Amino acid sequence: MNHEIPLPQLQPKEYKSAIKPVWCPGCGDFGVLGSITKALAGLQIQPENVAIVSGIGCSSRMPTYLCTYGFHGVHGRALALATGLKTARPDLTVIATGGDGDGFSIGGNHFLHTCRRNPDMTYIVMDNQVYGMTKGQASPTTDPTWQHGKLTPAGTGINPFQPLAIALAAGANFIARCSSADSNGTARILMEAIRHPGFSMLQVLSPCVTFRPEQREWKNQLIAAPEERQRTADPAEAARLLLSDEGVYTGILFKGERPVYQPQTGTVSARIEAFDEEFRL
């Protein structure tokens, strides 16, 4: 006979910390916070088995607002930290979060090589096509004609970075585009991303209402990809969806089958004195 007492079901709000977000009212990142708590509750993962790792930026404040383990790290280095953590603790659910500046500008190199390496973790980029925290500079995903103040008075004139097409080419194993305005839809996709082995990449279009107020219109401009074309394991079909000029598709745009990166770390033991000796100048 089984005498185990069932644990009470965790509710989304139980994944939130006591710290209130300092985001501007209406910032898309609120919706993403809601999606993360709903997805974790949907999967009933205990908070102590989750680690949220971020860089620097408004969106990178995410670990602070959750009561899971968290690491609010260094600008552009979330994926390096998260990969190290997942390698050392494969039992944890590791989620990296951040912005388009953090992930594709200063962190661009780590982004490419994390896709290529394919560790079993999820990366949520809150893409608002701007550096929000530092007051509105152009980012790698900014439209070339967007004009802002003294820094880019005539726009950047540079073609925007295509994060998902690049993730596909570099080897990410799960690729999706979502909208922060659809908190439940994003939560459902996030649950699938967490469950899928390998590196899962979610680009969540998340408006910066302060520096890009026109992004409030995104919710009327995005198109759900046809259900029968979603979840393809064929990279060529996924590339057609990602590079389509029919509109900006949301949904799960690729679900691959590459083997997961999990090196055998073995047991390493070292004494601090030995390091001290090695690095003494």
Query: Which residues would be at the binding site for ligand SF4 (CB under 6 A)?
Result: 23-24, 27, 29, 58, 128, 132-133, 208-211
Contact partners, residue 245, CB within 8 Å, separation at least 6: none
Decide whether 55 or 251 has the Cβ nearer to ligand TPP: 55
> Which residues in 128-147 contact ligand TPP (CB under 6 A)?
128, 130-134, 139
CB of 151 to ligand TPP, least distance (A): 12
Contacted entry of ligand SF4, ligand TPP, none for residue 209, CB cut-off 5 to 8 Å set by kind: ligand SF4
By the rule CB under 6 A, 252 interacts with ligand TPP: no
Cα–Cα distance, 34 to 115 (Å, whole number): 26
Q: Residue 209, class by beta-carbon neighbours within 10 Å (0-12 exposed, 13-18 middle, 19+ buried)? A: middle
Stretch that binds ligand TPP, among 36-44, 95-103, 232-240, 249-257 (CB under 6 A): 95-103
Instruction: Give CA torsion, residues 29, 35, 36, 39, to 10 deg.
Output: -170
CA-to-CA distance for 57 and 191, rounded, in angstroms? 24
Q: CB under 8 Å to 221, separation ≥6 — which residues?
A: 247, 248
> Cα 272 vs. chain centroid, distance in angstroms?
35
Q: Is the dihedral of CA 13, 18, 21, 25 positive or negative?
A: positive
Q: Which two tokens stand for residue 152?
A: 């880019």
Query: Does the protein bind ligand TPP through residue 232 (CB under 6 A)?
Result: no
Nearest residue to 117 via CA among 266, 263, 268: 263
Size of the site for ligand TPP (CB under 6 A): 20
Residue 211 interacts, among ligand SF4, ligand TPP, none and using kind-specific CB cut-offs from 5 to 8 Å, with: ligand SF4
Residue 10 interacts with, from ligand SF4, ligand TPP, none (CB under 5-8 Å by kind): none
59 is a contact residue toward ligand TPP (CB under 6 A): yes
Asked if 180 interacts with ligand TPP (CB under 6 A), we say: no
By a kind-dependent CB cut-off of 5 to 8 A, residue 23 interacts, out of ligand SF4, ligand TPP, none, with ligand SF4
Comparison of 41 and 126: residue with beta carbon closer to ligand TPP: 126
Nearer to ligand SF4, 87 or 210 (CB): 210
User: Residue 143 Cβ, how far from ligand TPP at the closest point, in Å?
Assistant: 14
Q: How far is the CB of 140 from ligand TPP (least distance, A)?
A: 9
Reported for 210-214, long-range contacts at CB under 8 A and 24+ positions apart, including other chains, are 210/24, 210/27, 210/132, 210/136, 211/128, 211/130, 211/132, 211/135, 211/136, 211/148, 212/128, 212/129, 212/130, 212/136, 212/146
Residues that bind ligand TPP (CB under 6 A): 56-59, 75, 98-102, 106, 126, 128, 130-134, 139, 208
